[in-house]
Structure 1
Amino acid sequence: MPDSEEFFVRTAGERDLPAVRALLVETWHDTYDPIYGRARVVEITDTWHSLDALKARLKRPHSEFVLADNGRLIGGMAFAVAGNDGKEIQLHQLYVHPECQGKGIGMALFSEIAQCFPEAREIMLEVEEANSRARAFYAHLGFEEVGRSGDCGGAGFELPALIYRRGL
């Protein structure tokens, strides 16, 4: 896989959605099959990462949907939404292709998301407790655990998650 210097971060468009879906499905299987099992991951990705769900994110007000792209491959993506007052960002998704992890792409995506919301003072996210790679990444970025959720993403899948917060 290419180094992160070859990737640039840009805004996602509708033409990107099939590649984004493929990235999400592959990343979810790599990360969550050992935790939830393949069938459960298929069920979740078919709902959360359907083309219709991704298209709705593109159109969501007060949000940013960005990609790490090298012209051949979408190496990562991030999606975040600002709260009503714009002071808090909810980072809903930040995923990096398994073969691109550890090359600075996640950091570049996070940095872009943070810059897209100049009024924001903090950023919140949920992370699966068993996802040690993601937890280490967010700890490296200065996030702190502030709570727990029994339904990550609020989508009814009853996935336990840790709630993290960081000031901006």
Structure 2
Amino acid sequence: MEDDGTICNTRLSLGLGIGGYVMPLKEEKFEEAIVHNHDQRDLISLKTRIDEEEDEKSDHRNSCRKKLRLTQEQSAMLEDSFKLHSSLNPLQKQELAHRLNLKPRQIEVWFQNRRARKKLKQTEVDCELLRKCCENLRNENRRLKKEVEELRALKNGTVQLSRALCSSCEKPLIKGH
């Protein structure tokens, strides 16, 4: 059988045998190796590199996910610093990190998160203010529409003058009012 460089995908899984144990190789990496006509040593090297990359990614994910737990004193000092300056220069960051026995990067991230929380809180306050303003405008709009209807009815003579009242001041509607 002649090798023309094409890949026949028969859905068979291939692996490398080492001491009787066959380790599966990721299909896309294996196909890449076949296309480039690597020999058995290159395939073993490729499998080793893939495993090392996955181990590094796993270690990185596990080490980066540790949550910083601050003491009450640290939190209070960070909050006080934030009240003075919502952003720190590198020297201030270094100094604060030294005083709190933390890394400068931890201080930087805490300040970033605190600024984000402040911005979110302000957005919530602004949204609530706009919601109340919108509700007031809706009420005013309803009142004005009702008043317009009453004035049209008065103009058409369908409402008796003694019953027609102004919606805003509740006085009878008469000419000149």
Q: TM-score range by the shorter chain?
A: under 0.3
- Greater helix content: 2
- Computing the radius of gyration from Cα coordinates, the structure with the larger value is 2
- Greater strand content: 1
Please report the TM-score for the alignment, with normalisation by the length of structure 1: 0.19
Please report the TM-score for the alignment, with normalisation by the length of structure 2: 0.18
Ranked by relative contact order (alpha carbons within 8 Å, sequence separation 6 or more), the top structure is 1
